[in-house]
Structure 1
Amino acid sequence: MIFERERDHMLAKRFLRSVVFATCGIAIFVAAACGVDVDAIRGPKIEELYLVIIRDPDAQLLALEKGQIDLLSDITRPVDIERLASNEELSLSLAQGFHAFFLGFNIRKAPWDRVELRRAIWQAIPRNQLVRDIFSGYSAPLSTFLPPASPYCAEDLEAPPYDLGSARRTLQEAGWRYSNGFLVPPGEDLPLKPMKILSPTAQVAPTTAELAQRITASLRELGLPMDVEPVDFSTLIARLDEHAFDSYVLAWQLSRDPDSLYAFFHSSMDVKGGYNICGIHDDELDAALEALRWAPDEEDARLAARRAQKLLSEKVPMVPIYSRYFVTALRKEWKGAVTTRIATADNVWSLLAMEPEGKMRPFYWCLPEEPRNLNPFTASSAYDWQVLGLIYDTLLTADPETLEDLPWLARDWKVETVSSGDGQVTRLSFILRDDVLWQDGEPFTAKDVAATISFLKEHRVPRFWDAVSDVEAVTVKGNHEITITMKNTSYWHLHQIGGLPILPAWQLASLESWQIWQPIRMIHPQKRNLTMLVGTGPFVFSEYRQGEYVRLVRNDLFWLMSR
C-alpha cells in the first residue's frame, strides 16, 4: 500500500515503456495510453454487461474471433498471443502486474513440516527452464515472495539455482535416504507414501496444469512419490480453505502493497478460510511480519519487508515459480478503453469509459470460470470478485497509471498520528460524497461505513479480518463524516480500511448467518426487481445462469453518471 507520490512515479517507471513487445520473431502491438485523465471519465456508458462463462481456452479464442465476446483477459499461451496479434479486428494490451505463482505445501503435517525438504524442492525445480519453455518470454522466473513489480520486492535476494545433485545432498546430510528411488525420512523405515499436488484442470488453466505436471516430474526425480490431482477451481479453493491437501500450485494477483506477506505467512492468519494456506507458525517470522504490518513509515516498511522475505527464503513455506505479464485482447469496435503501463484494458475505468462504434449494444466479457459464490463475505476467487467488484465500492481507489490514491466513495481523507493511553495510534478521517445512492435508491451515509467495519470485526470474517482487527473505535459525525481510530500506528491502515467493500447498514443489522448467505437468491424487500446483492457500484446484478453467464445492468444511480 503506497502513500507517497514520488514512490508511485518511481514504480510506474519500472514497468514496460515500449508499445511494441517482440517475442519469437513477432512484434505484438500493445495499446498503451499515457496521461489518463480519470477525472474526465463519466459513466458507465455500457447498458448491459455479460460475463460469459467459457472455461476452455480454445473456445475462448474462437468466441473472441467470431465476435461472441468482446474482451478476453489473461491470455497466457504465446501461440494464442501471436494468433490474436495478427487479427486486425482486435487490439492487445500488455502490462506487468502483481502476479505471482507458487508451489505451496501443507506444513501442518509430515513430510512438509521438514524445512530441509522444502529447501531441497526449491533447488530441484528448474524454474528458468520451465518459464522459458512454457511462456516464451511472456513471464519471468520469481526468486522471492513478492513480484518484481512491487516496490518492496527484495530483488537482491537470490533464489537457489537449479541443482538436483545439491538438493539430494541437502536431504542426505539431514538424514534422509533412498529406498528403490523414493525418499525415506530420518528415523523411519519406510519410504514416503504417495502424495498429491492440487492443480486446476487443463481445461480451465492449461499453463498451470502443464506447470503442475512438470513440477511433479521434478519432485519425483528428487524421490518424492508425487502425482497431480486436477480439480475444478471451486473444489481447489474449498480444499485449500479446509486445509485438506498435501501441496498445491496457485497463482495470485497481489496488490501494490506487501500486505500479502502478513496475510500468507503470519500465524494468526492460519484459520480455515484464511490466507495462511501453508500453515506456517514461526515466531521469528511473525516478529518480522508484525514489524512490516505496523511499520510507522516507508523506511521501516521497506526494512521489514526485506527482513520478512529473507526469512521466507530460509523457511520456504512456498516455492516461488514465476511472475507473468498480463495480455488482454479487445475488439476494436469498442472505444475508450483505459490502458497504461500497469493496466490492460480489463479494468473498471474501461468499463466506465467504453462505448461501441455506432449503436449501443451489450458488452461481452469472458469469465473463465464459474463464480464460486457471490457472497461478499466468503467470496475468495478472482472470478467471484470480477462480478462483486462491479457491484460494491470502496472508500478509495487507485490511479490506473501512477497507483496514487484517488477519492471514490470518500471525497477527502486525513491520516493522523495521535496520542492515546500509553502510546500513539493512527486516526483516519473520511469525508464522504453526498451524491452517492445505493442501487435501491437509498442514500449512502457514514452509518453504512461504520456498520460494515463493525460487522466485519464483530464476526471476525476471515477474508477481511486482517483489515479490521486493529480497529479500536468508529465515530460517525452527521451523514458524511466518519473517523476510525486504530489500536496502533501503521503505514498501511489507510489502504486496509479504504479498500473494504461497503455494504448497506440495514442489511447488516438483520444478517445472522453470513457464512451461508446467498444474496442472489433473495429478493429485495422493497425493490422486487433487485436481489439482496445491493451495492453502490456502477453495475447492478441481474441474473446468473450457471455455465452460461452473469448478467449485470448499468446502475443509472451511479454517482459518476450524469444525472
Structure 2
Amino acid sequence: MFSSRAKRVLAISLVAAFTLMAVSPLFVTSLAVSGSKSGPYVDKLVFRVITGEDQEVLALQNNEIDLIGEMVNPTYLPALQAAENIDVVNVLRNGYGYLVIKTNKYPFNYTSFRRALAFALDKEAISDQVWDGLSSPQDSCVPQVNPFSCEGLLPYTYYEANVAKGAELLDAAGFLDIDNDTIREGPHGDDFDVLVECASSSPIAIEVGQKAAQALTALHVQATSQATDFYEYLNRLYFHGDFDMVFLGASFTNMDVDWLGYEFWSGYANEPYWNFPCWGNASYDAWRDQLLHSTDYNEVYEAAIEMQKVWVYNCPEIICYENVLLSAYRTDRFEGFVNDVNAGVPGWWTNYLVHLKDSSGGPFGGTFRWSNPLDLDTFNFMASSSAYTMNVLNQLYDSLIIQDSSGADVNWLAESYTAQTHSDNPAVPEGHTRFTFNILQNATWSDGEPLTAEDVAFTLNFFREAPGNPYGSDLTEMTAAYSTTTYQLVVEFAGESYWYLHTVSYKPIIPKHVFEAIGAANWNTWNPQPPTQEMVTSGPFNVSSYFAGEACEETWNPNYFYGLDRTPTGTTSTTTTTPPNLTLAIVAGAVGAAVVILVGGYILLRQK
C-alpha cells in the first residue's frame, strides 16, 4: 500500500501529465501531423437500441456489439474484466461530487469554520472506501482534467483528514467548548448544530454525507447526516432557501471556465439558479473582468487560476472527489479506440479512428457496433436534448473547431483564424471583438455542393434568429456574421472576450441551400426522415438505414474532406513523402511519455 505522501505526489504527476497534453499548442500540432485528423476507417456504424445495463453487458460478452455506448456501472467491472476479448478502461470524470455550504448563514459565514471542515474531511477515505478506489481526491471547483484547473498547483491540499488543523482553526475563530460538554459553541457563545443533507436515491451521496458528519463530529461539532429527496433540496438551492450543507454532483461538457465569472460572483449571491452557497468575496470578484473580457489566453488562464486559489482557500463548497468513468469494448476485431476526456471511449473520436485489425482485413472496412440505451427522439439535432440521440447525430455535421481527446482545441473546418479588438485594428469598433476565419476549401456537403464561409455565416445568423433555438442562446451579443470571400468568414461581437471564440466555433454548421427554405422560425418543426428523405450533411458518416426502436445505421462519407485514401494494396497511386521532422518526433515522444506517466501514475494512485 502506498503512503499518503506518495499518493499526493502521484496525484500531482497525474495533473501535470494532463496539463502537458491538454495545454501546449505543440502537442495539438503533433497530433495533426501524426495523421489523427484523417478518417474514418470503418464502413459503417450501427447503433443498436439495448435497454438495461445488464443487457448491454450481455450483448458485449456475446459479441453482439463492439462497444457499450454509455459509461459502465462499476458493479459489472469484475465480470467484464474476467471476460475474453473485452477491455475496460477508465478516464477521470470532467466533474465531481461536492458539498454546498450556505455561507450567508451563521456560523457558516465564518471562513475558518468551512476550512476546518475541509481539513477534517477525509477525502482519501471517500475515494478508497466509498468509491472503492474509483475516484481521486479533488479540491478545486475546476476538475483536474481541465487545463484551466489549479489542482496540484497550491502549496496545500485538503486530501487527508487533518482534524488537528481543523480544530486549531476553530479555536482561533472562537468556536470553543464553553460549558465543557465536549461540544463546541459558536463564536457568540451559542449552541448550534449542522445538518448535512444528501440524496436519498444515491448510496454514494449518503455515504459522503455520513463522512462529512463524522468529520464535524471529530471536530466536536454537533452534526447529523440526513437522506432527503433530491429535488426538494435542489429547489431550495435554486431559490436560496434555508439549508446548512447539501451534497450535489456536477459534470461539464467542455473545458471552458467562463462560468467562474458567474457561478460564484458576488453579484449573483441572491440570484435564483446561481451561486448556490450565496457567497461573496471581493478578492475573487477582482479577477472577474480579466477572466470574462480579456481576449488573451494567458490573461484568461491567470485569472482562472487566481480565482480558484481564492475559492479553494475560502471553501464556499467542498469538492469531495473526482470519480472515474468506465468504458468497455471488444478487442478481437477492432483497434484504435480513443479514451476521450469528456466522453470516454464511446465518443466521436472512437468512431472516427477505430479500425479493423490487420488480422481482420484492416485497417479499412467493417461495421462497428454500438449499444444505445434509448432510441433517437428525432433526427433534428436542434430539437433534442438526449445524449443518446446525439450519439447518433454527432457524426453528421462539422464545426469550425473541435476538441481533441484531451479537450484541447483543434482547427477543423477552420484552417486558421485571428481575433482582434480596437487596440489591434482601429477598424474594429471600441469594445468589440472581431474574428476572421479562413475556411478549408475542400469541404463539401453530401449532395456535392461546396461548404463555404457563406454556410457558416448563414448558420450563425440562423441560430441567432431562430426563436428558442438552444444553439442561439449565447449569440445575443453577436452583431455580425458574414463572408468576405467564398472561404473567409468574419464574426463580430459587441464585447471583448476570449470565450466568444468557442461560442462561434463549436457550433455544428448547416447547409444554407437547404435551410433557407426551412426558415429560422421553423427550426423546431423540421423533422427529417432518413434515409427515405436524404439528409444533406457534411460529416464523416450519414444515415443509411433506420428501424425505429431497433437500430440506426450510418455509412462513411467517401468524399469527407479529411478522408483517407482507401486505394487497395497493389493499386498504383502517387504519393508524396515528407521528410520526418525531428522536432515533431521529439514532441510526439513527449506525448507518449506523458501518456505513460498518466496511466501509470493513475494505476499507482489507486492501488490499495
Both proteins in one fold, TM over 0.5: yes
The answer as to 2:410 corresponding to 1:406 is yes
1:510 match: 519
Task: Map 1:299-310 onto structure 2 (within 5 A).
Answer: 299-310=298-309
SS at the partner of 2:287? helix
Is contact 2:396–2:542 with CA below 8 Å preserved after alignment?
A: yes
Equivalent residue letter for 1:156: L
TM-superposition CA deviations, 1:28-53 (whole Å, max 9, x none) = xxxxx998522442355224333644
2:146 match: 150
1:346 match: 346
Per the alignment, do residues 177 and 288 of structure 1 end up closer, same or farther by CA in structure 2, a change over 3 Å counting?
A: farther
Name the CA distance, whole Å, in 1 between partners of 2:235 and 2:390: 19
Per the alignment, do residues 174 and 438 of structure 1 end up closer, same or farther by CA in structure 2, a change over 3 Å counting?
A: farther
TM-superposition CA deviations, 1:2-27 (whole Å, max 9, x none) = xxxxx999612999xxxxxxxxxxxx
Is contact 2:43–2:366 with CA below 8 Å preserved after alignment?
A: no
Per the alignment, do residues 151 and 404 of structure 1 end up closer, same or farther by CA in structure 2, a change over 3 Å counting?
A: closer
1:419 match: 426
Equivalent residue letter for 2:123: R
Deviation (angstroms), 1:131:
0.3
Deviation (angstroms), 1:408:
2.1
Q: Provide the TM-score with structure 2 as the length reference.
A: 0.65
Task: Map 1:211-290 onto structure 2 (within 5 A).
Answer: 211-221=204-214, 222=216, 223=222, 226-229=225-228, 247-253=246-252, 255-262=254-261, 264-266=263-265, 284-290=283-289
Name the CA distance, whole Å, in 1 between partners of 2:167 and 2:462: 51
Point out the more displaced range, 482-491 or 361-370: 361-370
Is contact 2:266–2:281 with CA below 8 Å preserved after alignment?
A: yes
Which blocks of at least 5 consecutive residues in structure 2 are unaligned? 1-15, 25-30, 217-221, 566-608
Which protein shows a greater Rg? 2
SS at the partner of 2:65? coil
Is contact 1:337–1:345 with CA below 8 Å preserved after alignment?
A: no
Name the CA distance, whole Å, in 1 between partners of 2:60 and 2:264: 39
Equivalent residue letter for 2:400: L
Deviation (angstroms), 1:443:
5.5
Name the CA distance, whole Å, in 2 between partners of 1:325 and 1:353: 23
Task: Map 1:16-31 onto structure 2 (within 5 A).
Answer: none
2:98 match: 103
Is contact 2:101–2:317 with CA below 8 Å preserved after alignment?
A: no
SS at the partner of 1:500? coil
Which blocks of at least 5 consecutive residues in structure 1 are unaligned? 1-6, 16-32, 202-208
The answer as to 2:20 corresponding to 1:11 is yes
TM-superposition CA deviations, 1:286-332 (whole Å, max 9, x none) = 44233123334343233211211022224544321223445432212
2:35 match: 37
- How many residue pairs match? The answer is 515
Task: Map 1:32-431 onto structure 2 (within 5 A).
Answer: 37-43=35-41, 45-50=43-48, 52-54=50-52, 56=53, 58-72=54-68, 74-75=71-72, 77=74, 80-81=76-77, 83-95=79-91, 97=92, 99-103=94-98, 105=100, 114=109, 119=115, 122-123=118-119, 125-154=121-150, 155-157=152-154, 158-160=156-158, 162=161, 196-198=197-199, 209-221=202-214, 222=216, 223=222, 226-229=225-228, 247-253=246-252, 255-262=254-261, 264-266=263-265, 284-339=283-338, 345-356=345-356, 357=360, 362-367=367-372, 376=381, 383=388, 385-400=390-405, 405-416=409-420, 417-419=424-426, 423=430, 425-431=432-438
Q: Kindly report the root-mean-square deviation, in angstroms, between the aligned alpha carbons of the 2 structures.
A: 5.3
TM-superposition CA deviations, 1:104-161 (whole Å, max 9, x none) = 5496997898565755654554211010124454432012122333333222333445
Q: Provide the TM-score with structure 1 as the length reference.
A: 0.69
SS at the partner of 1:71? coil
Name the CA distance, whole Å, in 2 between partners of 1:337 and 1:271: 49
Name the CA distance, whole Å, in 1 between partners of 2:185 and 2:533: 60
Deviation (angstroms), 1:396:
1.3
Is contact 1:98–1:255 with CA below 8 Å preserved after alignment?
A: no
Is contact 1:94–1:326 with CA below 8 Å preserved after alignment?
A: yes
Point out the more displaced range, 414-423 or 213-222: 414-423
Name the CA distance, whole Å, in 2 between partners of 1:168 and 1:9: 35
Name the CA distance, whole Å, in 2 between partners of 1:461 and 1:108: 35
Deviation (angstroms), 1:426:
3.8
